[in-house]
Amino acid sequence: DTEVTQTPKHLVMGMTNKKSLKCEQHMGHRAMYWYKQKAKKPPELMFVYSYEKLSINESVPSRFSPECPNSSLLNLHLHALQPEDSALYLCASSQDRGDRVYEQYFGPGTRLTVT
């Protein structure tokens, strides 16, 4: 099973709302990622969790708050977003054995619209 699931599929929120994106994998992967993707562009890395600890934060604004409750789950909490934050948010997971960079498996994404 190489499936990463994400919910919700679509989300519309106002600039004062608080919402959360959820991601789940059951491949036994110990690294999980959040990416932001704008139309016709490659994904941009936001956060990396390794063994449930935040290992990379790509200088993401604090209105995005990641959380890794356990090795299978990854959340992204959203608060006071701006219209320019509208994008496809992708979750991914991979092995993490420290010897090389492994292939990442992506979820279908959450299409976020901030009004």
Would you count residue 100 as binding other proteins (CB under 8 A)? yes
Backbone phi, then psi, for 61, in 5-degree steps? -55, 150
Would you count residue 54 as binding other proteins (CB under 8 A)? no
Within 8-37, the residues that bind other proteins by CB under 8 A are none
Would you count residue 42 as binding other proteins (CB under 8 A)? yes
Cα angle: 57, vertex 8, 91; to 5 degrees: 30
- Binding other proteins (rule: CB under 8 A), the pick from 57, 102, 113, 115 is 102
DSSP H helical ranges for the chain: none
Backbone phi, then psi, for 90, in 5-degree steps? -110, 140
Site residues, other proteins (CB under 8 A): 4, 6, 40-43, 45, 48, 55-56, 90, 92, 100-109
